[in-house]
Amino acid sequence: MTDRVSSGSERLDAVLGGGLLTNSINVVVGLPGSGKTILAQQYVFENASEDRPAVYLSTVSEPLEKILRYGQTLSFFDPNAIGTRVFYEDLGTSLSHPDALIETLGRVVAMLRERRPGLLVIDSFKALHPFASDATAFRRFLQDLAGNLTAYPATSLWVGEYGPDEIAVAPEFAVADGVISLAVEPAADRDARVLQVLKLRGSGFLSGRHGYRLSADGIHVFPRLADPVDQGTYTLEPERVSAGIPALDAALDSGLWPGGSTLVAGPSGSGKTLIGLHYIFKGAEIGRPGLIAGLQENPTQLERIVNGFGWSLGRDDVHVMYRSPVDMYLDEWVYELLTAVEEHGIRRILIDSLGDLRATATDEIRFREYVYSLLQRTAHAGVGVFMTQEVAELFGVTRLSEFGISHLSDNVILLQFLRSESRIKRALTVLKTRASGHDPRILEFEITSNGIELGERFADDQSFA
């Protein structure tokens, strides 16, 4: 059985290994407000046809009137489909019968015979539990229902407000072929929505926790960027390209390899963004469109900065993707980035800064995995990446990156402040270059109206403390 039932969302289908399995039984769990009913209705309108309609059965948790009233605010809700390819029915009457579950089962079977649906939703399924005289009676009902839904070719979604503890013990989870969890978790002072596939019988799926948002268009999932090691080979460009500053190119042994990644670390105000801007605008000059993916300066602030150095954001080959780190999902950001890269034919990216991205990640391991996956994708696509990283120490930097990203980067450049008599000096050091040599000396640089101007190495008696 390889046919899949689409949610209408390419990314959610990707999380599910292509979609729900056709003719399978699936449980959608989550607390009130997590979007279960929206998700179920998304499947309904995406898949219902006059030949194979969808039947939506409400129980006693939420009145059918309410489901419909709020349902019609969704963009995919088609009022003309009701009664032709989508049928909403209320099981409340059956549940008020003394043999509530037997009546309910009979009603469901009758619905399968009469409507011949391709998709069947029961919302809320959990609300059926109290109608069983005991656990055995509920299991018997469950067996009969599952037996009918296995014999008849329909995909079903059982929606319920199950908590994590119930998933381990409620018998419907043993019967189900697929289990999707929608959760709302606190993250600092905000709520983060997390979708997780807990079970998908006979199919692979993207494991782990995936962020999602709800809107009038339904559920938008951001699959966790976590690519496995790709053993495939890809073509490398044979010529090195300028990093944007001639003296830096010299220190890097004739520039950078295209498609490589570079980490620029340094304290606040040391010139990290500026060196990245050199990289972007030089790239544009040599036919490599750039993307400034900023989380700090908004476009207005950025325009003023770049104008100060004689550049402009008005050009077609430099694009800006500014996102506030407030209420941001890590993976939502990366999909926007990858889409922009594809849409504009981007060859150079400046990520400013890694620290802001890190703040939206749940933990350090996840963040490393994320950056690794991103850099693998850009390397395969031949897209170069500059990443800025703030270090805590203003003088005498002893620790480079809190996140271990320097190991993942092809090149590492350190910017430092040095005390020198009555003024501050700036210093640049190439700490690491992968697949090439480099100048190991500590070079002085200044920021002028032309940007960064690299000078000579420091004298041996210069203090770094």
Partner 1 sequence: MSEIATYSIGAVARMVRVPPATLRTWEERYGVVEPVRSAGGHRLYSRQDVERLRFVADRVREGISPGDAHRLLTEASGNLPLAAPDPGTRIVILLAERDPYAAEFAEFFLKTEGFEVVLALDAADAVGAVEADRPQLAIIDLLISGGAGLELCRDVQARGIPVLALSSIATRDAALEAGASAFLQKPLEPLQLVSAVRDLLGTSSFLHEVVPAR
Taking the least distance from each CB to partner 1, the nearer of 150 and 406 is 150
* CB of residue 85 to partner 1, shortest distance in Å: 16
How many alpha carbons lie under 13 Å from residue 461 in its C-beta half-sphere? 2
Nearer to partner 1, 149 or 159 (CB): 149
- Looking at 148, 362, 376, 462, which residue binds partner 1 (CB under 8 A)? 148
Least distance to partner 1 from the beta carbon of 110, Å? 10
CA 23-120-70 angle, to 5 degrees, is: 140
> Which of 62, 89, 103, 144: binder of partner 1 (CB under 8 A)?
144
Min dist CB 4 to partner 1, Å, is: 16
Q: How far, in Å, CA of 253 to CA of 267, rounded?
A: 25
- Distance between CA atoms of 298 and 321, rounded to whole angstroms? 9
Q: Is 129 in the site for partner 1 (CB under 8 A)?
A: no
Q: Which is nearer to partner 1, 76 or 152 (CB)?
A: 152
Tokens 């391709």 label which residue?
A: 118
Q: Is 31 near partner 1 (CB under 8 A)? A: no
The residue (of 154 and 292) whose beta carbon lies closer to partner 1 is: 154
Closer residue to partner 1, CB minimum distance, 157 or 415: 157
Contacting range for partner 1; rule: CB under 8 A; set: 87-95, 147-155, 372-380, 381-389 = 147-155
**Of residues 23 and 37, the one with the C-beta less far from partner 1:** 23
**Contacts (CB under 8 A) with partner 1, residues 169-198:** none
Report the residue number, 23 or 401, with the smaller CB distance to partner 1: 23
Residue 112 makes contact with partner 1 by CB under 8 A: yes
Q: Least distance in Å: CB of 93 to partner 1? A: 23
Contact 417, 424 (CB under 8 A): yes
With tokens 């203003």, the residue in question is 394
- Range 150-169, binding partner 1 (CB under 8 A): 150-153
Residue number with CB closer to partner 1 (108 or 291): 108
In angstroms, give the least distance from the CB of 146 to partner 1: 9
Q: Is 147 in the site for partner 1 (CB under 8 A)?
A: yes
Torsional sign, CA 119, 125, 129, 132? negative
Residues 122 and 399: their CA atoms lie apart, in Å, by: 56
Q: What is the DSSP string of 347-415?
A: -EEEEE-HHHHHHTSS-HHHHHHHHHHHHHHHHHHT-EEEEEEE-S-SBS-----TTSHHHH-SEEEEE
Query: How far, CA to CA in Å, does 3 sit from each of 85, 119, 148, 199, 321?
Result: 21, 14, 20, 17, 38
- Of 76-84, 110-118, 309-317, 397-405: span binding partner 1 (CB under 8 A): 110-118
Q: What 3-state class would DSSP assign to 432?
A: strand
Residue 175 Cβ, how far from partner 1 at the closest point, in Å?
13
Closest distance to partner 1 from the beta carbon of 141 (Å): 13
d(CA 68, CA 37): 10
C-alpha span between 216 and 38 (Å, rounded): 9
Tokens 């929608």 correspond to 182
Question: Which residues, in sequence order, are bridge partners of residue 197?
Answer: 180
Q: Kindly list the residues in this chain that would bind partner 1 in the complex (CB under 8 A).
A: 23, 109, 112-113, 116, 144, 147-148, 150-153
